[in-house]
Structure 1
Amino acid sequence: MRRSLTLLLVLPVLASCTSVVPGSPTAGTALEQRGPAGAVPAGLERFYGQRLGWEDCGDYATTGTTRSQYRNKKSIECARIEVPLDYTEPDGRTIRLGLLRQKATGDRIGSLIINPGGPGASGMSAAAGLGARVAKTPVGERFDLVGFDPRGIGASQPQVRCLSDGERDAERLDVDIDTSPAGIAQTEAENKAFAEKCAASTGVDVLAHVGTRDVVRDLDVMRSALGDEKLTYLGYSYGTHIGAGYAAAFPGNVRALVLDGAVDPTQDQVESLIAQAAGFQQAFDAFAAWCAPRQDCALGHDPAKANQAFRELTLPLAQRPVDVGSRKLSYSDAITGAIQAMYSEELWGPLNTGLTELKNNRGEVLMALADSYFDRDQEGKYGTITDAFTAVKCVDEPRVTDRAVLDDVARRYRAAAPFMDDGQPPAGVLDSCAFWPVPPSVQEAKPVAGLPPTLVISTTGDPATPYRSGVNLAQALGGGLLTYEGNQHTVYLQGNECVDPIGHDYLITLKLPAAGTVCS
């Protein structure tokens, strides 16, 4: 299977009311009501003013990673918030979203709600992972750090789930690079079957409402239920798309937005895909330049020959996967492992080790990198990120079914990222979204007016969301731009002594950095 081409009523703020009620809904749960706060759409009052039951996070873990993060950790607490499945029918079916909170340690301003991107990544896991670092900062002193699992994802109920763990392992071994008519027909049949499995396992009604349009509405419910008249939000990668969508839908409800690793609001999905391919090639070229002077460089000592050296190492896997214990490293896994390593310079060393292993018919490190990308734990259990990624993209973006366009995209993609060229004639394939059981709910991009100052952070060597995307988003929102010179995907709250203080100061004081500010 190939992946997808990526009237208001103003109500008073109620005083916070917290009580521990044994056995209601579970022993040790702290019931808290801080909303409704700020603007509340008519007919949604019960959602905006609902009580939240905060409790130990252990039962909210859904993967090996989150079990480790949440186990016996007293600094965090979790809850679920109820929202309508379909906001046009607020009295109909409801769903529940997972929340994780680390409380402010000092004079609290409000909540800082975060989303790490994907689409499909867990905001609860992201908040838990950032918690210890954030607690020691001015932001941790002034804000509750709140991560949420968007609808269909992680601890939210129900989950988007399309493939079983075994089916996901098998799908990774299915290389799907044959672009002959028979090969294309086989791949498209698999993509159609995947869409059908998603519908059967998740439900068509849920799939129709997992897109960003509905996540933005959920975010406003969270804002109110957490007791904040205005939203303070940190979004990474696809999370910037959520933030920009919120700004367009609720400009008057925004206090502060930090958007790091921006999705470009001016590009359609085809141009975004090609720009991303070029971004990964730029990152690969930087890796090759870093590797070349090393005595142990797996790609040799001439960066100009690195594309060919990489292809010569990985392409044989298409015919002869390498044994890794009871599993096999496929060609697609090797490419995925390399892509994972492009997200951060810290992974360049492991990538070089993995490619060196491959020379010796071993694949442990590349398999570990691919497993990390797919959120597969050591027990063989997968998180929801891959299934949710496809589900969200299929309702967020128009379907591309014109084969001439698909053929052109395949050609342009190979030209933009030659290190990933599999050597087959370029040909487009209908992806799973072409067979999706519900139509897309694409939101037309509109100018945003009435926003307070917003902060976009963009990294010059970002492979997944190229630098220009951040420039364009900052212009679209009329906000400030902070440039980081580096090779990685996102940077705020990762310990950079230039970026972090600027972000902290903005979130607390709403002061933007001077125009043209650059960090490195």
Structure 2
Amino acid sequence: MRDRFDLLGFDRRGVGRNGKADCGEPEGGSALDTLATAEAPLQVKNPASVDSAARDYADSCSKKTAPIAAYLGTNDEARDLEAIREALGEKKLSLLMYSYGTLLAQTYLGEYPQRVRAAVLDGTVDPAQSGPAYALGTTHTLEEAAGDESPGRTAISPQLHKELGELNPGPPTLALLLGVVGADFSWPLTTNETLKQLATAPTVARDYAAAAHWPRTGPPLGALRADGLKPPPLLVNSEGHVRTPPAGAQAVAQRIGGELLTVPGKAHGLIGFGNSCAERAAVTYPINYTKPTTCVKGPTVERENFQVSEVRQSTVVRAADPMGTTQLRTATAGCGSRRAEREAREEVYFQFA
């Protein structure tokens, strides 16, 4: 893979060096904050008080994170990715997208199909589900936590681990969850209805109680579609994972005309976690557009350390867009030490989780 592609990633809006959206947690002891310590199923004694606290948090946080508060969704992120492609001077991109990043892949494929050379989606999220359904799907049961066990990530050199660690933006903030998930999925129109639909998970209810009051500029993603993609996108998915079940991946594959490769097990995230079948597919498909017909459960393989010559950071200045944003900053990682030896340069390969 490193012999054929430049590997790049970037900070999405509101993350890391791209204008971090962070308003902290709700005020301690407030009607909104106390939801997190309530017992399930959640029973709200004073819905009006919670709604007022949720509205106050959304109003103050959106003002603090202006002007990006209403422009954090994946539709905006897809336009950013297209701006990066233009800035790099690439005719087409090859995409490797993980988990929530698969929403970006679906959006970009639908909006810019002529700009994609090949696409691989690992652990596909279905945007047709509701916001509460998605949020509840991110919670862990003991059974799911056990199912998430995987052989582990590919070993990397200590120097690369240090350099990539410096680029790690950390866990998502509450403002980012509201700005991204609140924009990408459909949510109830009232705080009370949101709490009812999230009653089985009080902590999740606390996080998304303000979703009804967060500013938006357009409709949710919904059932995204892409037509006539050649080659068709490749979707890789565990057969038993709870958060990204194969039924959702199958529905997405049908809507975007993709190929689905189902892998035994319950792991979320297969490429780079030691699943040799999924990893072979990720390497071969963007090069010759072939995939395994099936994956069987078997031993994993050890791989050599990932050696790179450098991890570079760069800034791409984007022209003013409808929200009047300032700069789009990107983190560029993974230009391999053998890059100069390549005889033919392939298109950029984007990785996003």
TM-score of Structure 1 vs Structure 2, range by shorter chain: 0.5 to 0.7
Residues 1:518 and 2:295 are matched in the alignment: yes
Give 1:143's aligned residue: 5
> Does the 8 Å CA contact 1:406/1:428 hold for their aligned counterparts?
no
Identical residues among aligned pairs (%)? 29
Q: Which runs of 5+ in 1 are unaligned?
A: 1-138, 288-338, 348-376, 415-419
Q: CA deviation at 1:257?
A: 0.8
Q: Alignment partner for residue 221 of structure 1, among 70, 83, 86?
A: 83
Structure 2: how far apart are the matches of 1:261 and 1:447? 18
Partner of 1:162: 23
Whether contact under 8 Å (2:97, 2:105) holds in the other structure is yes
CA contact (8 A) 1:342 1:463 kept: no
TM-score, normalised on structure 2? Answer: 0.66
**Structure 1 counterpart of 2:179, from 368, 388, 391:** 391
Aligned 1:102-181 pairs, distance under 5 A: 139-156=1-18, 158-163=19-24, 174-177=36-39, 179-181=42-44
SS in 1 for 2:96: strand
Instruction: Tell me, yes or no, if the aligned pair for 2:74 and 2:184 is still in contact at 8 Å.
Output: yes
Shift in Å, 1:405: 5.5
Change (3 A) 1:183 1:173: closer
> Does the Cα contact within 8 Å between 1:238 and 1:262 map onto a contact in 2?
yes
Question: What is the SS of the residue equivalent to 1:182?
Answer: coil
1:255 alignment partner in structure 2 = 117
Q: Is the 1:150–1:215 Cα contact (8 Å) retained in structure 2?
A: yes
Letter of the aligned partner of 1:472 in structure 2?
A: A
Distance, in Å, in 1 between the alignment partners of 2:34 and 2:267 is: 26
Q: 1:207 offset after TM fit, Å?
A: 1.1
How do residues 280-429 of structure 1 correspond to structure 2 at under 5 angstroms? 280-281=140-141, 284=142, 287=143, 341=145, 344-345=148-149, 384-401=172-189, 406=194, 409-410=197-198, 414=200
Q: Which of 235, 244, 258 is the matching residue for 1:465? A: 244
Taking a change above 3 Å as real, the CA distance of residues 266 and 443 of structure 1, as seen in their structure-2 partners, is: closer
User: Would the alpha carbon gap of residues 160 and 477 (structure 1) be closer, same or farther in structure 2, given more than 3 Å must change?
Assistant: same
1:103-146 residue CA offsets vs partner (Å, 9 max, x unmatched)? xxxxxxxxxxxxxxxxxxxxxxxxxxxxxxxxxxxx12211111
Secondary structure of residue in 2 paired with 1:149: coil
- Cα shift at 1:268: 3.3
Cα drift, residue 210 of structure 1: 1.2
Q: Which amino acid aligns with 1:457?
A: V
Give the whole-Å Cα distance in 2 for the aligned partners of 1:430 and 1:219. 27
Letter of the 1:442 counterpart: P
Alignment match of 1:195 (pick from 36, 39, 58)? 58
Code of the residue aligned with 1:144 in structure 2: it is D
* 2:284 matched residue in structure 1: 505
TM-score by length of 1: 0.47
1:431 to 209, 229, 250: 209
- 2:179 and 2:202 map into 1 onto residues whose CA distance is 27
Is 2:127–2:185's contact at 8 Å kept on the other side of the alignment? no
Q: CA RMSD in A?
A: 3.7
Q: Secondary structure at the match of 2:37?
A: coil
1:467, CA displacement in angstroms? 2.1
How far has the Cα of 1:459 moved from its partner?
0.8
Long gaps (5+) in structure 2: 152-164, 298-353
* C-alpha deviation, 1:195, in angstroms: 1.0
Amino acid at match of 2:58: A
Aligned pairs, how many?
Answer: 276
C-alpha displacement of 1:432: 0.7
Give the C-alpha shift of residue 402 in structure 1: 5.4
Distance in 1, matches of 2:75 and 2:202, equals 35
CA, structure 1 residues 407+200, in 2 after alignment: closer, same or farther (shift >3 Å)? Answer: closer
Contact 2:24/2:174, CA 8 A, preserved across alignment: no
Deviation at 1:346, TM superposition (A): 5.6
Q: Is the 8 Å Cα contact of residues 211 and 441 (structure 1) preserved in structure 2?
A: no
CA contact (8 A) 1:403 1:429 kept: no
Whole-angstrom CA distance in 2 between matches of 1:165 and 1:272 = 22
The within-5 A match list for 1:235-246 is 235-246=97-108
- Which structure has the higher relative contact order (CA within 8 Å, separation 6+)? 2
Q: 1:390 to 1:266 in 2, by over 3 A?
A: closer
* Residue aligned with 2:240, SS: coil
Whole-Å separation in 2 of the counterparts to 1:406 and 1:165: 17
Partners of 1:176 and 1:183 within 8 A in 2: no
Measured in 2, the distance between the counterparts of 1:233 and 1:441 equals 25
What are the Cα deviations for residues 21-70 of structure 1, in whole angstroms up to 9, with x where unaligned?
Answer: xxxxxxxxxxxxxxxxxxxxxxxxxxxxxxxxxxxxxxxxxxxxxxxxxx
Going from structure 1 to structure 2, the CA distance change for 1:511 and 1:476 (only over 3 Å counts) comes to same
Residue number among 245, 269, 287 corresponding to 1:490 in the alignment: 269
Higher helix share: 1
Checking the alignment, whether the CA contact within 8 Å between 2:187 and 2:212 is kept in structure 1 is: yes
Q: Distance in 1 between matches of 2:264 and 2:122?
A: 13
Q: Secondary structure at the match of 2:64?
A: helix
Tell me if structure 1 keeps the 8 A contact 2:194–2:209.
Answer: no
Partner AA of 1:499 in structure 2:
A
Determine which of 42, 49, 70 is the counterpart of 1:208.
70
